[in-house]
Amino acid sequence: MSILDYAAAELSRKIKEGKHTAIEAMEAVFERIGEKEEEYRCYITADRESALIRAAVVQRKIEAGELCGPLAGVPVAVKDNLCTKGVPTSCASRILANFVPPYSATAVENLEKAGAVMIGKTNMDEFAMGSTTETSFYGVTKNPVDPGRVPGGSSGGSAAAVALAECFMALGSDTGGSIRQPASYCGVVGLKPTYGMVSRYGLVAYASSLDQIGPITKNVEDAAYLLEAVASYDEKDSTSAPDAERDFAEALTEDVKGMRIGIPRDYFGEGLDAEVRKVVLAAAETLRAAGAFVEEFDLGMVKYAVPAYYTIATAEASSNLERFDGIKYGYRTGDFEGLHNMYKKTRSEGFGEEVKRRIMLGSFVLSSGYYDAFYLKALRTKALIKKAFDEAFAEFDLILGPVAPSTAPKLGESLSDPLKMYLGDIYTIAVNLAGLPGISVPCGKDKNGLPIGMQLIGDCFAEKKLIRAAYTYEKRKAGADAWAKIMRRS
């Protein structure tokens, strides 16, 4: 067994027992990166020397008893839209190619306090706008199971790095599914917390009312520990929730007896791949067998989530990305005539196609004459979507469905038809609009061996229920898989 086979919390236990060191773990990670990066491109920045120095510092603190948390000593990858002091943060964009933040995001500082050791910064869709990690200025990340396919996005680098053991755990961000969908495509666990659970301070904003930082990990236990490490009330984020429960590790118990789980019929209709449907419904049966009460219901509003999202998210993006103007940091065009020409040329050369597409749509829906018909209409729709979820959570503890309508598509298939790509977000996007927590847990494979994820959705601040159900499912499935293996052998 290689050190890279350990999950994060397991590795930390071995380090604290003195069986391994944080330095050995980091060396193993970089050896793996050396083998895999040329083909898979999970990272934008990963500097071995500085990572080993960080690991050595943490190892000393562990030996001195100053660091003893559940993730102490564990190498972690960080999505490149989280500011990291002194380490380049590009958002996978040319416009931030030379940007080195003078401060770290609160989530990154929390990681350091927990004794996790940063490896580097992972690849993503430019400014987190995309579902495939193909819009990065720094090249395309490949799917770990089939390099001819996408890893999903926008946190594709983080999800692929976890699946390839180029890290032990990673942080991603999720605005419309950007943690859950790549986790599903890569066969790992991804958790999008309730809006306000993790501070967004230092997360480069895409759509501020929807963005949340969350963990991407090898298993549910690690997701609970990593979320517990990064979640905090933060006065630097005015939308940070002051009174939320954040002791997620307590929910790591195998118990779903009496839990009420709703399966929305409208998540299993037209457009869903037959193999995905079968595997996800089998996962629901596993939870039923474990004692949960599982029932179908009609959620409603499902087809309106994607158009409402692309109105709200692009509107916010057009405003948030105004700051990239070539004045104080980032790329500035070399050749211009006057101030306004400098702005226009800098932005036109600095942003990629998908980002420009969204900034333009967002500028349009916010412009006078169209604001009421498009933007306010979308915000009213959001209120109705929230109401549909409120009604569902009056009946159920959790909602269970697929993460995405299909398994990972081939490289190059999605970008030629953006609308089709946007429709792939249909099961994840409403969760962001309603501010809810959601988790993607691997539940099987299709005939090509591509991973399929099950999504569990909870009410606001019901992360512990979500983790308890996901943990129970994972344990039960591992037991059943082990048994099936024995039966095949005999």
Partner 1 sequence: MANVIDDATMEYVGILAKLELSDEEREAAKKDMGRMLDYIDLLNELDTSGVEPMSHVLPARNVFREDVVTNGDGREAALLNAPERKEDMFVVPKTFE
Residues in touch with partner 1 (CB under 8 A): 98-100, 102-103, 195-196, 209, 235, 238-239, 241, 303-304, 306-308, 310-311, 318, 322, 325-332, 336, 338-340, 342-345, 347-348, 351, 356-357, 359-367, 374, 376-384, 386, 418-419, 433-435, 460
Nearer to partner 1, 12 or 232 (CB): 232
* Beta carbon of residue 199, minimum distance to partner 1 (angstroms, whole number): 13
| Residue 411 beta carbon to partner 1: minimum distance, rounded to whole angstroms | 21
Determine whether 93 is an active site residue: no
Q: Which of 16, 79, 121, 464 is catalytic?
A: 79
Q: How far is the CB of 389 from partner 1 (least distance, A)?
A: 9
Instruction: Give the separation between CA 192 and CA 194, rounded to whole angstroms.
Output: 7
Catalytic residue among 93, 131, 178, 440: 178
Do residues 188 and 217 make contact, with C-beta atoms less than 8 angstroms apart? yes
Catalytic residue among 90, 154, 158, 240: 154
Could you tell me which residues come within 8 angstroms of residue 392 by beta carbon, excluding any fewer than 6 positions away?
262, 264, 297, 299, 399
178 part of the active site: yes
Task: Count the neighbouring beta carbons within 10 Å of the beta carbon of residue 400.
Answer: 23
Minimum distance of partner 1 from residue 110's CB (angstroms): 18
CB of 263 to partner 1, least distance (A): 23
Q: Put residue 338 in one of left, alpha, beta given phi > 0 → left and psi -120 to 50 → alpha.
A: left
Task: Give the bridge partners for 306, in sequence order.
Answer: none
Sign of the Cα pseudo-torsion (220, 222, 225, 229, in order): negative
Nearer to partner 1, 4 or 244 (CB): 244
Annotated active-site residue 154? The verdict is yes
Q: How many residues comprise the chain?
A: 490
* Residue among 6 and 351 whose Cβ is closer to partner 1: 351
DSSP string over 186-229: HTSEEEEPPTTSS--TTBPPSSTTT-EEEEEESSHHHHHHHHHH
Q: Are 427 and 267 in contact (CB under 8 A)?
A: yes
Residue from 75, 94, 87, 67 nearest 22 by CA: 75
Identity of the residue, 389 or 473, whose beta carbon is nearer to partner 1 in the bound complex:
389
Establish whether the linkage from the previous residue to 154 is cis, with ω within 30° of 0: yes
Burial class (CB in 10 A: 0-12, 13-18, 19+), 339: exposed
Alpha helix (H) ranges present in 321-410? 338-350, 353-366, 377-395
CB of 369 to partner 1, least distance (A): 10
Catalytic residue numbers read 79, 154, 178
